[in-house]
Amino acid sequence: MRWTRHHLASGLFALALPMVSVAGTQVFTMPLWPGTPPGATYTTHREQVFHGTPVGTVVTDVSTPTLTAYLPGRASATGTGVIVLPGGACIALVIDHEGNDVARRLQRMGIAAFVLKYRLQHKQGQGLPKDLSEDIACRQGIADGAQAVRLVRQHAGQWGVAADRVGVLGFSAGGMIASEVLLQKDTAARPSFAALIYGAPFESMPPVPTDLPPVFMAWARDDDTAGYAMTRFYQALLKAGDKPEAHIYGSGGHGFAMKSPPASSAHWLQEFLWWLRAQKLLPERG
């Protein structure tokens, strides 16, 4: 979820060791990069975790990116992998509602999910900075998103994932990062599919090539934060000759990822799964 003007509100991480193993499932966290991330800058700001905010648990000041894997048991694994990118305007991460909670639901459905805790711009003061540029704030996050795709494919066999079924699922600013990873010039490094949930390029529009991997998009008509960006990107994809699937809900606002009915936007995940099956990216048995 993008950090709204109405709310604002350390972590050590395990080194590729299982944190949880239940009935064959696994949850573990690993460094995203083998060494110092490219473009890393020195910072004195420590990563902070805030619980109980209006948008759940929030993480700020991430300078050491990690990837947390939620692997299903081998018997239920579908072979599909999804990298989950939470939102937060690239100055924070809504790490549970748009990250871990989503990953757990995918894991239960036999999908290997990977929550990316990407690098953030230092947040100062309350609310959104008036001069915030997500084009600038998200640069390192975009590099981390591309690395996450490479890392999952590198370990695909070990983690029970098909290398040609590794996609990205981004929310708000995470959706912007997912779109940039999708559009990168190295076609071999692009994800196998992308799902953009109320998140797309918010500022400058990057060049959109044709013959992109399949794209799923979902947003609410009453989303004053991302509605324009989603509509503009959808039209850019069509103009380039791509064939995105768009779900525009009548209500739900911004940040409906884990909200409950009655709004139809609460069913976005089921529609995403149906779309994956229609694209042959998720086996019917999933």
Q: For the chain, list the domains and their CATH numbers.
A: 22-125+132-278 (3.40.50.1820)
Of the chain, the percentage scoring pLDDT greater than 70 comes to 91
Residue 43 Cα to chain centre, angstroms? 25
Output 259 or 132, whichever has higher pLDDT: 132
Task: Report CA Rg, the chain.
Answer: 17
End-to-end CA distance of the chain: 27
Residue 262's pLDDT is what? 79
The 10s digit of each residue's pLDDT in 98-134 is 999 999 999 999 999 999 999 999 877 677 777 789 9
Residue 286's pLDDT is what? 43
**Structural contact between residues 82 and 168, judged by C-beta atoms closer than 8 angstroms:** yes
Confidence bin at 20 (pLDDT 50/70/90): low
Please give the mean pLDDT across all residues of the chain.
Answer: 90
The 10s digit of each residue's pLDDT in 68-99 is 999 999 999 999 999 999 999 999 999 999 99
The 10s digit of each residue's pLDDT in 219-256 is 999 999 999 999 999 999 999 999 999 999 999 999 99
The 10s digit of each residue's pLDDT in 218-229 is 999 999 999 999
The 10s digit of each residue's pLDDT in 26-44 is 999 999 999 999 888 777 7
Q: How far is CA 172 from CA 99, 160, 202, in A?
A: 12, 29, 9
pLDDT above 90 for 263: no
Residue 12's pLDDT is what? 29
